Structure 1
Amino acid sequence: MRDFFLTHEDRAFRAEVRTFMSRELAPKVNLIERDQDFSAQLALVRVLGQAGYLKLMFPDLYRGALPKPGLTHAVIVSEEAAYLNYAFETTIATALSCAYPIHRFARESLRERYLLPILEGRSLGSVCMTEPSVGSDSAGMETRIRFDEEAGEWVVSGVKRYISNASKANVYIVWGVTDPDLPPQKGLTAVLIPAHAKGLTFPRLYDFVGRRGSIVGEVAMDEVRVPGENLLGEVNGGFNIMLSAFNFERVILGGSGLGVARAAFDIACQHAQSRVSFGQKLGQKQLIWDMIAQMSWKIDAAELLTHRAAKMYDSGIGGKDLMREASQAKLVATETAVFCADRTVQILGGDGVTRQYGKAEQLYRDARTLPIVGGTSEMCKYLIASREMPSLRLNL
């Protein structure tokens, strides 16, 4: 039985979300993938917010039927959305990745101004970490944040890239260096920048191989000024905010990977049981059933790791105590998505690489992004190993 870590209540919630996504998202997947119609996504975000599904991570704000909503349920929403369209799932996951630090680290005035509109589906959020010269190595950030004492404002300058929801978000969380004299990662600070801020621009948008319909681009800040209250957490405390945000994002990405993997797997199983080749169903051939079996156990492993990490978070475990498990979930689920998408294309043959014969080729393109975003597979392996060998300082 799959869903081993899920309760009866969790499974009932999955059935509810699946019905919702089939009704609301499924009819619009062609608008998102083929036409790259972002307005279709915005309409879906609004419906998702109205249904209360964007508040699952915030029990103090959630008003639905679940007695104990949490990351487990947010992962289920992520998985069911990604099963139908990973581009749309990226849009809502990015918004939640922005909402999470606002809820946890922002002042009450900011929560009222920026958090509720995101959770109600009326606006989008974005997180800005990656830079032209900096990916996983956050210690090398070149973005600078300084405080103008006289004006009582934070002043931000720098460029971020590969930012989801760039130019479409209503608010951006930006990390930068406030004290370059401190040891690496000790001088990082996070601030909120509204989309209308003077000096905030979006130099270009990227054309990705997959996730068509999602918006990813650059965010540039030229002496952008925001009020002092727009600080998240404490000055020079940005790295801890980043760590908690990464744990959240990586578990959510576990759900994303599961959704893509399951979608590919279902296509492969259906084809293997219906296609006749050399007088037999394709699935009767050893090389094919070997692929199906490998996809099956990999999906189960990814699901167990992802739901374990989500349940750990919901039980109150976080920070460095969740880093290993969150990284394992992200690593295994996203690599499984790539494996399943690749094997599905192979099983389908020519149909697998042709748009006219289903979505296997789309899943193949979409899946390849997953082991890169939110911390590469290599970075996840580093984080896992660093927890397993705490007496050693591993060399990146």
Structure 2
Amino acid sequence: MQDFLLTEEDRAFRSEVRAFLQRELAPRAADIEDRQDWNAVKHVVRALGEAGYLRLMFADLYRGSLKKPGLTHATILSEEASTINYAFETTIATALSCAYPLHRHASARLRDAYLEPILDGRAIGAICVTEPGTGSDSADMQTRVEFDARTNEWVINGFKRYISNASVADVYIVYGVTPRDDGAKPRVTAVAVPKDVPGISFPRNYSFMGRRGCIVGEVKFDDCRVSADHLLGDEGDGFAIMRGMFNFERAILGGSGLGVARSAFEIARQHAQSRRTFGQFLGCKQLIWDKIAQMSWRIDAAELITYRATKMYDAGADGKALMKEAAMAKLVATETANFCVNEAVQILGGDGLTKEYGRTEQLYRDARALTIVGGTSEMVKYLIASRDLPELKINL
């Protein structure tokens, strides 16, 4: 690993957080995977909060040793956690995706009530975007967020699905449309909704092929009311808030993909150098050389593209200025993760399909979600192309 874009301080931070996760997460990874032990997840989240690692994105709230903490360091944390257990990393990445708009767009009272507990590891956050008929086409959401002037409250009605941390989160950032009096197209509005408010419910959680231990489910809102100060930004700012959140999330997913890819590569590399077949080590076979080489260069390319995006963000780029680079980080790293786990299983043969011979089958199941969550590979390709074809309005 060359990590040309990382500084010595960044590399020292990687070593520090790797040792921390080996101490706190690695001993609990089997419980998270095999028993879906939420208490194990909460223990590590709390430990991360107490150590200050959940504040990396928020320089004004950070209290650690880094001179300029930022998205680069949050992505390093994501990468190192995903190397051990991607399901756990999904939990903290989602919580930080909730913290991001709270930090940027919430009132001081909301930040005290909801942001600080998340950053301390005492609470979990969630974001509510996806609906039964709406995924990446967020402008077509059916959830309604409307203001009741009589009671000075926002009223939420709708149904969200595939929500990470559903039912276990303490606060939900909910995106919905607000109708306009002039009959124009409704605008997207974002509000913070605590878990104990009347009208919020959690119909079911899903069972996935991978990411065991990460709780994902449905959230329903029936005349759910929150006071006016639970609005994020201004009415109709939701789409811009969401775009900034997605830039953050996609860069973090670049780290997730890198962590899964590196873990698979290391397993394959070790096996190729220790397994003997036809009188020589498996790694001496030309076809295996090809697999190892392709895994290696793809990981390096994904690393460079991912940390380019994080360094750009830390230098001040965001919104449309970062959309293409964040999308590229997400696309390349997550596709690389899927390539690497597939090749690792092939190199290990039957051992790669069993729980008895290591983690490869778990990585194979976990990786498949990466090219779907946070915007499918197809969707982020559209985002990339929209920057390269600025004079065309692409009809998705």
Secondary structure of 1:356's aligned partner: coil
d(CA) in 2 for partners of 1:202 and 1:39? 20
Alignment-derived partner of residue 133 in structure 2: 133
Equivalent residues in 2 for 1:114-125 (5 A)? Answer: 114-125=114-125
| Structure 1 position 140, deviation (Å) | 1.1
RMSD between superposed Cα atoms in Å = 0.7
CA–CA separation in structure 2 for the residues paired with 1:239 and 1:208: 29
Which residue identity does 2:184 align to in structure 1? L
Q: 1:216 Cα shift?
A: 0.1
Partner residue in 2 for 1:303: 303
Identity percentage of aligned residues: 66
Q: How does 1:276-315 map to 2 (within 5 A)?
A: 276-315=276-315
1:379 aligns with 2:379: yes
Q: Which residue of 2 aligns with 1:163?
A: 163
Counterpart in the other structure of 2:46: 46
Cα deviation 1:220-272 (Å, max 9, x = unaligned): 00000000000001101100000000000000000000000000000000000
Residue aligning to 1:241? 241
Distance 1:157 1:88 in 2: 30
Say whether the 8 Å CA contact 1:154–1:228 is kept in structure 2: yes
Report the alpha carbon displacement of residue 182 of structure 1 after superposing the two structures with TM: 3.1
TM-score (norm 1): 0.99
Is the contact made by 1:179 and 1:188 (CA closer than 8 Å) also made in structure 2? no
Unaligned stretches of 5+ residues in structure 2: none
> How far 1:36 sits from its partner (Å)?
0.5
Instruction: Give 1:43 deviation, angstroms.
Output: 0.7
Superposed displacement of residue 117, structure 1: 0.2
Contact 1:155/1:224 (CA < 8 Å) preserved in 2? yes
Map of 2:195 onto structure 1: 195
What are the equivalent positions in structure 2 for 1:85-164 lying under 5 Å apart?
85-164=85-164
Structure 2 match to 1:330: 330
- Distance apart, 1:139 and its partner CA: 1.4
In 2, distance between residues paired with 1:332 and 1:395? 24
Distance in 2 separating the partners of 1:172 and 1:390: 35
Equivalent residue, structure 2, for 1:182: 184
Equivalent AA in structure 2 for residue 265 of structure 1:
F
For 1:98, the aligned partner's letter is C
Deviations 1:80-108 (A, max 9, x none): 00000000000000000000000000011
Distance 2:2 2:340 in 1: 17
CA distance in 1, matches of 2:164, 2:154: 23
Q: CA deviation at 1:45?
A: 0.3
**Corresponding residue of 2:317:** 317
Separation in 2 of the partners of 1:22 and 1:59? 26
Q: Deviations over 1:103-149 (max 9, x none)?
A: 00001110011000000000000000000110001111000011110
d(CA) in 1 for partners of 2:155, 2:226: 7
Deviation at 1:395, TM superposition (A): 2.2
- Give yes or no for contact 1:206–1:217 (8 Å, CA) kept in 2: yes
Query: Residue 362 of structure 1 corresponds to which residue in structure 2?
Result: 362
Q: Distance in 2 between matches of 1:179 and 1:244?
A: 23
- Any idea what the Cα deviations from partners look like across 1:169-206, whole Å, max 9, x if unmatched? 000000001026433xx600000000001010000100
Matched residue count: 394
Residue matched to 2:15: 15
Give 1:393 shift. 1.0
Contact persistence 1:173–1:192 (CA under 8 A): yes
1:16-70 deviation line (CA, Å, top 9, x unaligned): 0110011111000111000110111001100000000000000111010001000
Q: Give the 3-state SS of the residue equivalent to 2:369 in structure 1.
A: coil
Unaligned 5+ residue runs, structure 1?
A: none
Q: Is the 8 A contact 1:179 1:236 kept in 2?
A: no
